Chains A and B, each alone.
Chain A
Amino acid sequence: MIGNARGNEQKMSGRMIADKTVKYILFISAILSIVIVLAIAFFIFRESVQAWTEIGFTDILFGGIWRPGQDQYGILAMIVGSVAVTVGAIVLGVPLAIGSAIFLGEIAPKWVQAILRPAVQLLAGIPSVVYGLFGMVVLVPIIRQINVPGNSGYGLLAASIVLAVMILPTITSIAEDAIRAVPDSYRSGSLALGATRWQTITQVVLPAGKSGIIAAIILGIGRALGETMAMIMVIGNSVIFPKPLNANPLTLFLSQARTLTGNIAVEISYATGVHESALFATGVVLFALIIVVNVSARWLVNRQSSIQTTRQ
């Protein structure tokens, strides 16, 4: 009996050690991801210091001209380019993505879901360069048909469309999860009060899933801001301020542009000295932009949920 008890005790302590070890391994993994993020941030910042000190903060951020040969390193045009193409992608992609999510989560019969859901997820698996290729070969020639002087087909419109399709699966699947997470009791509660299915969706399901849907859109924005390869292939990459090609303001979208990501990718292979540092500064700005988007998203989500619990 005594021997047995001691055996148990030893087994217990063995399990305890395993338990502790796993705890530390998991802790280290968690810490490691933070360390990696910080290390990358530190590295980018360190490499960009030369640009910030030699060119100056305002000249980089608000400088309209990027001409490395003449030591002009203003990235405002690229900031505008990145923001414009992201806005374009959101305007085109979000309604489509949320619509798909509602259809998948609330309306589609099971067999339709079984076809549609993998199809949407497949979109996420297509490499960025293939989207770029599709844009170059299919979209750009079509857009070139629009008869406006200076329209090359390459530009914000082509880039926005490509980007809209690229963020579609991200937003759709996360928004669908948010919609599915809304308890069925809300739906039956609403239907039992004589609401139609559509009223139930718009007035109960979507508001209840709002924070998840906003999170989905934010992730889409993050993906859009960070997209590089496909953008390089279809946006034209001219370092100019996007502006309308004629009196019609909508021709703005036919304008070529360059994104922050594209700027880095196109020039880093031959850049040296201040030029190289200025590209790292571009990276810092991109980094900051994405942090701003994420923080404002979190703030928005928190504010929404506090409204849900307190507002009349």
Chain B
Amino acid sequence: MNTKLETIDYNLYYGNFHALADISVKFPEKQVTALIGPSGSGKSTFLRTFNRMNDLIAGTKYTGEVLIDGIDLFKIDPVALRQNIGMVFQKPNPFPKSIFENVAYGPRVTGMHDHKKLEEIVESSLRSAALWDEVKDDLGKSGLALSGGQQQRLCIARALAVHPTVILMDEPAASLDPIATLKIEDLIHSLSVNYTIVIVTHNMQQAGRVSDYTAFFYTDETRTGRLIEFGETQTIFTNPKDKRTEDYITGRFG
């Protein structure tokens, strides 16, 4: 299996604060990898490394290497990189624009202005995000008028519209009800055929349901996030090597 994303001895600092330490891991292509671990263990920060959203915070420094398709990610222009690596946020954040405009936004800012083509992209993206049937007659309606679950699927469609190869998801179902959560999980399943997905989740059952691989992050009183264990989800959940992983998964802390 090809490696899509890889980090080698990756360290991240916010000013003097050592946020992530010595992370070396390989995420396989077109698989779902879940990042689990207690709050503050650096999962989301690690996730944001891949589309360089951490760069937006003043005072971030890093050491080590981060690769996408074997290429140094920090040598790629972040604007171009983010077209290749989409992101879905914890709280649905559709723009205060119509459903159509939300999905067409990415293609538009990257230079696509042919309306016919935009319509095709909007339809196919909404279909891939399993939202088309619910909104096809209301594309002019505001994205903010949708329910929370629909908004999140709209945000997924919006990310798909720029044709990324990787989708990062930061607790995408954290603010949704169980039924909407289930829909998002089904969607993650079907998307993993074509996309490499990395998902941060606090929900152990969810990690078990949606992911092929799992990375367990942990932190001690230094608050520096470390990768404790990485492997196939099945293995991590049934036969973890590290005591801390086992304790976390069985719910002894976290």
Contact = CB atoms under 8 A, between A and B. Distances in A.
Interface residues of A, number: 22
Contacts of B140: 310-312
Nearest to B108: A203
B53 A203 contact: no
B100 interface: yes
B43 interface: no
B96 A189 contact: no
Contacts of B81: 194
Interface in B158-215: 158-159, 162
Contacts of B106: 193-195
23 contacts: A185-B91, A186-B93, A188-B56, A188-B89, A189-B89, A189-B158, A190-B95, A191-B56, A192-B87, A192-B89, A192-B159, A193-B82, A194-B79, A194-B81, A194-B83, A194-B106, A195-B79, A195-B105, A309-B141, A309-B145, A312-B100, A312-B101, A312-B139
B93 A188 contact: yes
B33 interface: no
Contacts of A268: none
Interface of A: 183, 185-186, 188-196, 199, 203-204, 207-208, 308-312
Given A199-B109, A203-B105, A193 B86 contact: yes
Interface string B90-105: 0101111110110001
Given A191-B53, A192-B53, A193-B162, A308 B142 contact: yes
B46 to A, nearest CB: 16
A244 B100 CA distance: 49
Given A194-B80, A195-B109, A309-B144, A189 B53 contact: no
Given A193-B106, A194-B79, 11 more contacts: A189-B93, A192-B51, A192-B82, A192-B86, A193-B83, A194-B162, A196-B109, A204-B95, A207-B96, A311-B98, A312-B100
Given A186-B95, A189-B93, A308-B96, A194 B110 contact: yes
B125 to A, nearest CB: 12
Nearest to B107: A193
A275 B159 CA distance: 69
A208 B93 CA distance: 13
Nearest to A306: B142
Which of A193, A199, A208 has its CB near the most chain B CB atoms (within 10 A)?
A193
B154 to A, nearest CB: 11
Contacts of B105: 190, 193, 195, 203-204
Nearest to A183: B93
B138 to A, nearest CB: 9
B126 interface: no
Chain A binding surface, main DSSP class: helix
B53 A193 contact: no
Which of B56, B95, B140, B162 has its CB near the most chain A CB atoms (within 10 A)?
B95
A189 B90 CA distance: 11
Contacts of A309: 96, 141-142, 144-145
B32 interface: no
A185 B100 contact: no
B82 A189 contact: no
B121 interface: no
B231 to A, nearest CB: 29
A204 B105 CA distance: 10
B12 interface: no
A194 B109 contact: yes
B249 interface: no
Nearest to B168: A192
B131 interface: no
A193 B96 contact: no
A186 B86 CA distance: 15
Nearest to A195: B109
Interface string B147-160: 00000000100110
A208 B53 contact: no
Nearest to B92: A185
A185 B89 contact: yes
B159 A193 contact: yes
Contact of B97 (A183, A192, A207): A207
Interface string B39-81: 0000000000001010010000000000000000000000111
Nearest to B109: A195
A204 B139 CA distance: 18
A310 B141 contact: yes
Nearest to B56: A191
Contacts of B110: 194
B103 to A, nearest CB: 10
A218 to B, nearest CB: 21
Contacts of B80: 194
Contacts of B51: 192
B82 A194 contact: yes
B109 to A, nearest CB: 4
Contact of A188 (B53, B101, B144, B162): B53
Contacts of B159: 192-193
